[in-house]
Amino acid sequence: MRFIINFSLGMIFGFGLLISNIFDSTKAKIFLLGSMDWNLSLLATILSSIIVSIILLLLLKTIFQITEDSFLTSQKKSLDRYSLIGSALFGVGWGLTGLCVSTATLNLVFNQWESILFFVFMALGFYAPQFFKNLA
Amino acid sequence: MAVEWMNSLFGGALISLSLFVFAVINNIAFGVGDMLKNTLEREASISWNNQILFLIGLIISPVIFTTLFYPVSGKTFQNEPVILMIAGLLVGVGYKLCNGGLITRMVLLSTYNLKASIAVLILFLIFGGASQLIFMFLTV
C-alpha cells in the first residue's frame, strides 16, 4: 500500500510542476530577468507552496500531536557559510538555464539531449563537495 | 492570465502537499535531489524503495498527465552545451552545500529554520537574476 502511495505522491508532485508550468525553463528565466514580458506567476507558485506547507505543519502539530522533530532527520538548522556559498552557486546555475533539480528530473522524460546533459552534470555536482573534501 | 495565476497557485499547492506527505509518512525530510543521490548510491532499504517509487512517479507524470488532461511537451533550450554543463554542475554542488534546492526550501521551509530558508530563497533569486544579466551582458 505504501508503495502505491509513494508512487502516487511522485506523480502528484510532477502534476504540480506541470500545472504550474515551472518545468518550462524559460518561465524561470523570464521571471529572474525581469524583462518586458515579466511574469510573476512563478512567485505565486513559490508563495502557495510555502503557505500550504506551513498550514500542513500546523495541522500536523495540532490534530495529530506530532512534533516537527519526529520527521526531521539531518536537516541543517542554521545558515552557515556552506549554505551561503551553496545558495549562490545554485542561484547562478538556476539563473543560467532555468532548471532546478526537480524540473531537470521531470524534463528527462522529454528525451532532449540538453536536459540529459544538464542532469548528468548535476548528478556529478552532488559528489563534487565530497570529492574535494577527500582531496584536501 | 487569471487561469495562469490559478494554475500557478494550484500547482504550488500540489507540489507542497505531495512532498510534505512524503516526508511525514516516510519520516524523512528529503527533496528530489536527496532522493536522486540516494538512488545513485544504491543503499537498498525500504526507504530507498520508497524514494525510487517517488522518482518513478515524478518522471512518468508527464505521460499520465497527457493521457488524463492535456498534452505537455518539452520546451526548447536556448543554451550552449558548455553552459548547460556548467549550470548543471553548479546546481548539483549548490544543492549539496545548502542541503536543498528551490523546491525543497519552498516546501520544507516551515520545518527548517524559517529565517535561514527565506534568506537562502532570496539568495537563489538574487544570484539567479544577476547571473542572467551578466551572461546577457557578456554575450551581447
Distance from CA of A27 to the nearest CA of B (A): 10
Q: What SS3 state is found at B28?
A: coil
Q: pLDDT tens across A73-113, in order?
A: 445 556 788 888 999 999 999 999 989 999 999 999 987 88
CB nearest to B132's CB, from A20, A33, A46: A33
Taking chain B, what is the end-to-end CA distance rounded to the nearest angstrom? 31
Dig out the grid coordinates for A91 from the structure.
542561484
In order, the DSSP letters of A64-99 are S---GGGS--S---S--HHHHHHHHHHHHHHHHHS-
Q: pLDDT tens across B37-51, in order?
A: 888 876 666 677 888
Counted across chains A and B, CB pairs separated by less than 8 A come out at: 422
pLDDT tier at A71 (50, 70, 90 boundaries)? Answer: low
Q: Are A102 and B113 in contact (CB under 8 A)?
A: no
Q: Do A94 and B124 touch (CB under 8 A)?
A: yes
Q: What is the pTM of this model?
A: 0.90
Domain boundaries, chain B: 1-75, 76-140
* Cα–Cα distance for residue pair B63/B78, rounded to 1 Å: 24
Interface test with A, best of B91, B131, B138 (most A CBs within 10 A): B91
Dig out the grid coordinates for B87 from the structure.
549550470
Distance from CA of B101 to the nearest CA of A (A): 7
Exposed/middle/buried for residue A54 (C-beta within 10 Å: 0-12, 13-18, 19+): middle
Q: What SS3 state is found at A56?
A: helix
At what angle are helices B32-41 and B46-68 packed, to 10 degrees? 120
What is the DSSP code (8-state) at residue B140?
-
Domain boundaries, chain A: 2-39+76-135
CB nearest to A32's CB, from B62, B81, B125: B125
